[in-house]
Amino acid sequence: MKKIVKIIAVSSLAIALSACQSNKNPNPPPAPVAVAAETAAKAYGMGEKGGLTGEDVEGGGMNGVAHVNSLAPGSNQVYYFRFDQSTVSASDLRAITAQGEYLLANKNAQVRLEGNADDRGSREYNIGLGWRRAQAVAAILKQQGVLAGQIKMVSYGKEHPAVSGENEKAWALNRRVELIYVRK
């Protein structure tokens, strides 16, 4: 428990400091990957039969989305954020910590953190917000000792939604960082 509190404190400081810096992404995002809403919901175990329930969006977790990350290190993960926020939720910290432990034990493993935002706000603002979200997850991994070379970051802003729609369910699913294992 002390380790988790320490990680939260250090990552909060890192996030606060990174918010004060200019967050320009010098690398253009790679080609988009289409994700169907139903497939994404099934893959992340949301709701019965892969669909979302009212509880998933309204009552679940800190972000209004049920936190369903399995703790299977070495598998892709998705972490959700509150509107206009880049702070990692306490409920996602355990899953990110498990990923960090896996990366520490497997120095040749590499992840890409893809920051995303919902479609509200300007393109430029959402690129920055997606970048800050990816940095928040990266800060937790680095605090655990994961090498910077094992982590790549990209922000898609609002350009690659997981689902389409103009409602809280859709927005909640689009405010995310996807941790994706890649080959070197």
**Interval 34-69: pLDDT, tens:** 233 333 333 333 333 233 322 333 233 334 443 444
Mean pLDDT, residues 139-163: 97
Per-residue pLDDT, 73: 65
Domain boundaries, the chain: 2-182
- Residue 56 makes CB contacts below 8 A (sequence gap 6+) with 46, 47, 65, 66, 169
- Under CATH, to which class is 2-182 assigned? alpha beta
Amino acid (1-letter code) at residue 144: Q
At 47 the three-state DSSP class reads coil
Query: In sequence order, what DSSP letters do the residues of 127-151 get, joined into one string?
Result: HHHHHHHHHHHHHHHHHTT--GGGE
Mean pLDDT, residues 133-140: 98
Per-residue pLDDT, 75: 80
- Please return the burial class of 118, using the count of CB atoms within 10 Å of its CB with bins 0-12, 13-18 and 19+: buried
Q: pTM of the prediction?
A: 0.64
Average pLDDT, the chain: 73
3-state percent helix, strand, coil for the chain, nearest multiple of 5: 45, 15, 40
Per-residue pLDDT, 139: 98
Per-residue pLDDT, 23: 41
DSSP tag of 153: E
